Chain A
């Protein structure tokens, strides 16, 4: 065990970033032209970084596994993006966004990074609007905001239920502009399979052209991974089918520490599982909790329809348990509360693993306001509901349609049934203040790094972090490294390090093809998912985690002896792609359990059943666990723990309360 240096600048919290920016070494324009940067991933964190670096004059290569950078899974983010603009005049400020994020993360995030995030949040909104991103507006023509969980101000900017789509298309258009100008070379349908290190520094990648199967060598003076989260380790999650940990995991094997892997966000409002065939889960945006009230029947095993259960027989359990925040408690709290009610026998629907999200009260309230605007100050209930539904439809139409498609039920008439599902991963590659991993020259941005959300991310903060990293942080901090690299000429890719890295990647692909076992990749992935969900999901305990580790080790042996990958490695072969990703998920799954077992406390999304208050709330152990757990991969399933102590100099660390 050793300490690691987070390279946080000296000085007072609120001036660290400003001073850093003013003193960071610069690279002159002619030198930028000969410095090459590889960006892997084209989501919010990747596309924004690639575009911005190219605008600054660097030579950029960008890679994505999809057929177009516009498909990255940032596109599916629904609810919104936070920014400390205080446009609503409700007392918001940089400090409040910083404070809410640290508290929301259950005091397990780094103060300096989070404050910087809050500082640049306002610039993101300005930048996106300038790009033509059509964020929602009020009738006066100014930007609208809504509320999200874990805050008492309205600081969330949005575009209907498609905020991620609009922000990503903004970043994509900036990226395509640079591609059109020849300043970014784009490689679609390419997957990174290895980081190439020369003299200890990241100097390039091995990527597989997914159409031809060819392995390609690409040099870069620095490499940036913006490759997203690892929620698909659970098989079922709200992630896209292709979302994977492979790039980050290969980096871990090359010496980049993996931090807090056990911090997983289980989102409280997702459409429940309907059967064994299910391939993914679909989120219903947290923004719905603005206008929806969550409840279960007060009686156990109540099989009546929702509409037949009278008001006084409903338990609005979030409002009951957390009167100050009510339905807008943070995600980890809301998820655990839903699990608690369902485990106690109050769940609804055929599986009994669901709770109601009911819009009726707010529909009626909106209707009344609309009627009043039209001069009808005493509307009947029917008029209120009719007018109110139009308002709800405008706010959440696409989400309601999606719900109807998937469940076959009409959410305008009957409450939605929802249940928690894996959504986001707070853990990721460890990075210092510069967003550099423990491998010099290897950077990590967005969900793929661990940096800003502690043990629980607040809603509408993922889009903020991805774009903060890509537009406003990395382009500055990478200069500190590249300014020392100006004398390094592009290294030819016949260098032995490239040859060796390519041979390693090829070896893995050939092995997978040649196993010729009896079970599909999905078979193993589903098994892994079940182990993770049961034993390293919403609640964990030491005994379960120990057995999960043994089960995963067995699964790993079974996978490498009995997986069946059809076809060859030199053709378009999606099963081979999946096999490589699942192999990495299996190894990561084991590390997640090791990390969860090591952390003898409950915090945020990590809930150890042995450590809870009498009221069932997470019980932290600040004396022993106020640190980031950064794991070094020593090979063959051995990991060494390194600790980064978290110092809270500006926020008084306290028991988190939303009551």
Chain B
């Protein structure tokens, strides 16, 4: 069993509701074990707040194994904290030192309004997917799966794009709050596969239109999204999306 010996100061964003102004509040936590995850450290703090009669800090989390995409803390100026390629739930306290001060904020973007404390509304992502992030195939319409061989390299590339967990770190870290990495990952996954061809150009137009309608910013190629993505989604996807987006303009309605 690990024993906890770290003492930390936390500066945490507290905001009662979307309309509330919000502010940073300082907290001390002690006897933190290096084997704890960052969220388990928050559990300790919340347990303490509840016992004292204070309101616990609200934050989104669910699977705690880095795949559901629900956790979303902006830690010391970086989404999901200081370690590359992990989500907040997979960030462990061994990445910090005794005596550290840690600043924790919610995702900040116009399209992701704060709901309470560290929780934000990311439903804009769902609406972008609903606008075209699918292949239109009703249940029961499929042919035998092996009737359509797909080169391994192509399938692997589609899988890499499909590994996006929809957490929104890309938006949170981008100075323009652009969602292009998220949107292009889904567009790429489907554009790389033969099944995705019939709707390829219609899809990119519809999803980009919805992305713009949601109030996400534009891409200025700083690459912060790729650097901060916990799943290593590549900037190449944005290039692919842009190519398809411009190509779509030259393709007639019937083909698209």
Contacts and interface: CB of A to CB of B under 8 A. Distances in A.
Interface of A: 48, 51-52, 55, 66-71, 73, 75-76, 85, 87, 123, 125-143, 159-160, 162, 164-166, 169, 172-174, 176-177, 179-180, 186, 188, 211, 238, 240-242, 274-280, 282-283, 350-351, 401-402, 405-406, 408, 471-472, 475, 518, 520, 522, 564, 566-567, 571-572, 574-575
Given A131-B195, A143-B145, A169 B162 contact: yes
22 contacts: A87-B146, A126-B142, A127-B140, A131-B195, A132-B196, A137-B150, A166-B159, A173-B134, A173-B135, A176-B126, A179-B126, A180-B132, A240-B63, A274-B2, A282-B64, A283-B65, A405-B90, A406-B92, A520-B47, A564-B51, A572-B58, A574-B58
Contacts of B39: 279
Nearest to B141: A130
A221 B86 CA distance: 44
A130 B195 contact: yes
B139 A277 contact: no
A623 B143 CA distance: 45
Contact of A522 (B37, B43, B68, B190): B43
A208 to B, nearest CB: 15
A136 B69 CA distance: 22
Given A132-B189, A277-B4, A279-B39, 14 more contacts: A66-B62, A67-B122, A73-B68, A127-B137, A127-B140, A137-B151, A177-B134, A177-B136, A241-B63, A275-B4, A279-B64, A405-B90, A518-B51, A567-B55
B218 interface: no
A141 B142 contact: no
Interface stretch (B113-121, B170-178, B233-241, B248-256): B113-121
Nearest to A572: B116
Q: Which 8 A-B pairs have the closest CB atoms?
A: A141-B149, A180-B130, A173-B134, A130-B142, A126-B142, A134-B159, A129-B145, A176-B130
B65 A51 contact: no
Interface of B: 1-4, 17, 33-37, 39-40, 43-44, 47, 50-51, 53-56, 58, 60-70, 85-86, 90, 92, 94, 115-116, 119, 121-123, 125-126, 129-146, 148-152, 155-156, 158-159, 162-163, 165-166, 189-190, 193, 195-196
B62 to A, nearest CB: 4
A75 B195 contact: no
B148 to A, nearest CB: 7
Given A69-B126, A126-B145, A179-B130, A475 B139 contact: yes
A86 to B, nearest CB: 11
B144 A126 contact: yes
A48 B165 CA distance: 19
Given A159-B159, A160-B159, A572-B119, A131 B62 contact: no
Contacts of A76: 63, 65, 67-68
Given A75-B67, A130-B143, A162-B163, A211 B115 contact: yes
A135 B195 CA distance: 13
Given A87-B146, A277-B4, A472 B139 contact: yes
Nearest to B93: A277
B86 A275 contact: no
B115 A280 contact: no
Nearest to A139: B152
B112 to A, nearest CB: 11
A29 to B, nearest CB: 14
Contacts of A141: 149-152, 155
Contacts of A276: 1
Nearest to B147: A126
Contact of A70 (B40, B146, B166): B166
A180 B130 CA distance: 5
Given A66-B70, A132-B190, A274-B1, A402 B65 contact: yes
B37 A279 contact: yes
A274 B35 contact: yes
A188 B62 CA distance: 14
A123 B142 contact: yes
A637 to B, nearest CB: 28
A85 B142 CA distance: 15
Nearest to B52: A566
A120 B117 CA distance: 46
Contact of A240 (B62, B86, B94): B62
A277 B149 contact: no
Nearest to A405: B90
Among B116, B139, B190, the most chain A Cβ lie within 10 Å of the Cβ of: B139
A575 B56 contact: yes
A287 to B, nearest CB: 15
B16 to A, nearest CB: 8
A471 B138 CA distance: 10
B97 to A, nearest CB: 15
A456 to B, nearest CB: 23
A166 B135 contact: no
A242 B59 CA distance: 13
A282 B65 contact: yes
A85 B145 contact: yes
A129 B1 contact: no
B153 to A, nearest CB: 9
Given A162-B163, A277-B40, A408-B94, A71 B148 contact: no
Contact of B44 (A71, A169, A238, A277): A277
Nearest to B94: A408
A274 B33 CA distance: 10
A137 B145 CA distance: 11
A154 to B, nearest CB: 14
A218 to B, nearest CB: 19
Contacts of B17: 571-572
B29 to A, nearest CB: 11
B33 A564 contact: no
Contacts of A566: 50, 53-56
A567 B90 CA distance: 29
Contact of B64 (A123, A143, A160, A241): A241
Nearest to B146: A142
Nearest to B144: A126
A405 B80 CA distance: 14
A607 to B, nearest CB: 27
Contacts of B134: 131-132, 173-174, 176-177
B37 A68 contact: no
B43 A277 contact: yes
Nearest to A71: B68
B94 A73 contact: no
A276 B253 CA distance: 61
Contacts of B33: 275, 277
Nearest to A274: B35
A572 B115 contact: yes
Contacts of A283: 65
A134 B90 contact: no
Contacts of B50: 520, 564, 566, 575
Nearest to A351: B1
A68 B122 CA distance: 8
Contacts of A472: 139-140
A574 B129 CA distance: 27
A87 B61 CA distance: 39
Nearest to B145: A129
A162 B68 CA distance: 11
